[in-house]
Structure 1
Amino acid sequence: MNSKVTVPYLTKPLPGYLLQRYRGWKAVDYSENQVWYRRLATEGQRPRCMVISCCDSRVHVTQLFGAGPGEFFMHRNIANLVPPYAPDTDHHGTSAAVEYAVNVLKVTNLIVMGHSMCGGVEGCRTMCSGHAPELEKPESFVGRWLDILRPGYERVKDIETPEAQQTALEQQTVLVSLENLSTFPFVRDAVENGNLSLHGVWVDIASGELQVLDNATQNFTTV
Structure 2
Amino acid sequence: MSKNIIITGTSRGIGFEMARQFAAEGHQVLALSRNEKPLKELGVDNIHSISFDITKAEDLNKISAFVKAEWEGFVDVLIHNAGALVSKPFEELSQADFEQVYAVNVFGVATLTQAILPFMKPGGHVVTVSSMGGIQGSVKFAGLAAYSSSKGAVITLSELLAEEYKEQGIAFNVLALGAVQTEMLEEAFPGYQAPLSAEEMAAYIKNFALTANKFYNGKVLQVSASTP
Please classify the TM superposition score into its range, dividing by the shorter chain length. 0.3 to 0.5
TM-score with structure 1 setting the length: 0.41
Larger radius of gyration: 1
TM-score with structure 2 setting the length: 0.40
